Amino acid sequence: MAQSAAFALAENLAAAGLAVDGCYQCRKCSNGCPLVFAMDLPPDRVIRLALLGREDELLACRTIWVCSSCETCTTRCPNGIDIAGVMDWLKEQAVARGAAVPEPEVRDFHCAFLGAVKLMGGRLSEPLVLALYALKGGRWLAKLRRSAAAGELATALELLKRRRLPLSPPRRLAGAGEVAGILRRW
Amino acid sequence: MKLTYYPGCSLEGTASDYAAGIAGVAGLLGLTLAELPDWNCCGASAAHSLDAEAARALPIRNLRLAQRIGLDVVAPCALCFNRLKAGAKDLEAKGERLSFRVWDLLDLLTQPVFLKRMAARLVTPLTGLQAVCYYGCLVNRPPKITDAPTPENPGNMEKLLQTLGATPLEWSFKTDCCGAGLAVARPDLIDRLVRRLYDRARRAGAECIVVSCQMCQANLDLPQARISRQAGQKYELPVLYFTELIALALGHPEVPRWLARHLVDPRPVLAAKGLLEIPAPQASG
Ligand code: SF4
Ligand code: SF4
User: A119-139 pLDDT, tens per residue?
Assistant: 999 999 888 888 888 888 666
With beta carbons under 8 A apart, name residues in chain A contacting B185.
Answer: 103, 105-106, 108-109, 133, 146-147
- How far apart, in whole angstroms, are the C-alpha atoms of residue A166 and residue A163? 8
Nearest-by-Cβ selection for A109 from B40, B141, B184: B184
Of the two residues B201 and A162, the one the predictor is more confident about is B201
With beta carbons under 8 A apart, name residues in chain A contacting B143.
Answer: 75
Q: What is the DSSP string of chain A?
A: -HHHHHHHHHHHHHHTT---TT-----HHHHH-TTGGG-SS-HHHHHHHHHHT-HHHHHT-SHHHH-----HHHHH-TT---HHHHHHHHHHHHHHTTPPPS-HHHHHHHHHHHHHHHHTTSS--HHHHHHHHHHTT--HHHHHHHHTHHHHHHHHHHHHHTT-S--SPPPPPTTHHHHHHHTTT-
What is the structure's pLDDT at A146? Answer: 62
Q: Do B141 and A70 touch (CB under 8 A)?
A: yes
Closest Cα partner for A136 from B156, B184, B194? B184
Closest Cα partner for B154 from B104, B229, B90? B104
pLDDT-based confidence at A154, cuts 50/70/90? confident
- Within a domain: B213: yes
Amino acid symbol at B208 = C
**Burial class of residue B277 in the structure, from the number of CB atoms within 10 Å of its CB (0-12 exposed, 13-18 middle, 19+ buried):** exposed
- Within a domain: B281: no
pTM: 0.94
Mutate to test the interface with B, among A110, A126, A145, A171 (most CBs of B within 10 A): A110
Residue B47 and residue B75 in contact, taking contact as beta carbons nearer than 8 Å: no
Segment A38-55 shows an average pLDDT of 97
What is the structure's pLDDT at A164? Answer: 86
**Residues B104 and B136 placed together within one structural domain of the fold:** no
pLDDT-based confidence at A149, cuts 50/70/90? low
Max CA separation in chain A (angstroms): 62
Q: Other CB atoms closer than 10 Å to residue B123's CB: what's the count?
A: 10
**Residues B232 and B255 placed together within one structural domain of the fold:** yes
Amino acid symbol at B69 = I
**Residues B163 and B239 placed together within one structural domain of the fold:** yes
Q: Do B260 and A162 touch (CB under 8 A)?
A: yes
Residue B13 and residue B42 in contact, taking contact as beta carbons nearer than 8 Å: no
**Residues B73 and B151 placed together within one structural domain of the fold:** no
ipTM of this complex prediction, to 2 decimal places: 0.94
- Within a domain: B282: no
Closest-CA distance, A127 to chain B, in angstroms, reads 9
Which of B79, B109, B139 is the last residue before a domain boundary? B109
- How far apart, in whole angstroms, are the C-alpha atoms of residue B85 and residue B76? 13
Residue B204 and residue B167 in contact, taking contact as beta carbons nearer than 8 Å: no
Task: List Cα–Cα distances, A44 to A21, B61, B159, B178, in angstroms.
Answer: 12, 35, 36, 21
**Residues B48 and B184 placed together within one structural domain of the fold:** no
Is the CB–ligand 1 distance for residue A25 below 6 Å?
A: yes
**C-alpha torsion sign, points A48, A52, A57, A59:** positive
- Within a domain: B114: no
- How far apart, in whole angstroms, are the C-alpha atoms of residue B206 and residue B209? 7
**Residues B168 and B51 placed together within one structural domain of the fold:** no
What is the structure's pLDDT at A141? Answer: 63
* Domain count of the fold of chain B: 2
Which of B82, B109, B136 is the last residue before a domain boundary? B109
**Burial class of residue B41 in the structure, from the number of CB atoms within 10 Å of its CB (0-12 exposed, 13-18 middle, 19+ buried):** buried
**Residues B142 and B264 placed together within one structural domain of the fold:** yes
Segment A12-21 shows an average pLDDT of 97
Nearest-by-Cβ selection for A66 from B50, B137, B189: B189
What is the structure's pLDDT at A1? Answer: 43
**Residues B65 and B196 placed together within one structural domain of the fold:** no
Tens-of-pLDDT digits for all 285 residues of chain B? 999 999 999 999 899 999 999 999 999 999 999 999 999 999 999 999 999 999 999 999 999 999 999 999 999 999 999 999 999 999 999 999 999 999 999 999 999 999 999 999 999 999 999 999 999 999 999 999 999 999 999 999 999 999 999 999 999 999 999 999 999 899 999 999 999 999 999 999 999 999 999 999 999 999 999 999 999 999 999 999 999 999 999 999 999 999 999 999 999 999 999 999 866 555 443
**Residues B135 and B259 placed together within one structural domain of the fold:** yes
* Cα separation of the two ends of chain B: 49
What is the structure's pLDDT at A168? Answer: 81
pLDDT at A5 over 70: no
Q: Measure A85 CA to ligand 2 centroid, in angstroms.
A: 10
Is the CB–ligand 1 distance for residue A29 below 6 Å?
A: yes
Is the CB–ligand 2 distance for residue A81 below 6 Å?
A: no
Q: Using one digit for the tens of pLDDT, what is the confidence trace for A86-128?
A: 999 999 999 999 999 999 999 999 999 999 999 999 999 888 8
**Residues B19 and B67 placed together within one structural domain of the fold:** yes
Whole domain around residue B48: which residue ranges?
2-109
Instruction: Please provide the CATH number assigned to the domain covering A2-97.
Output: 1.10.1060.10
Touching A: B residues 84-123, CB under 8 Å: none
Around B70, how many Cα atoms within 13 Å sit in the side-chain half-sphere?
0
**Extents of the domains making up chain A:** 2-97, 104-184
- How far apart, in whole angstroms, are the C-alpha atoms of residue A143 and residue B33? 40
**Residues B144 and B203 placed together within one structural domain of the fold:** yes
**Residues B101 and B136 placed together within one structural domain of the fold:** no
- Within a domain: B70: yes
Crossing angle for the helix pair B214-221 and B78-93, nearest 10 degrees?
150
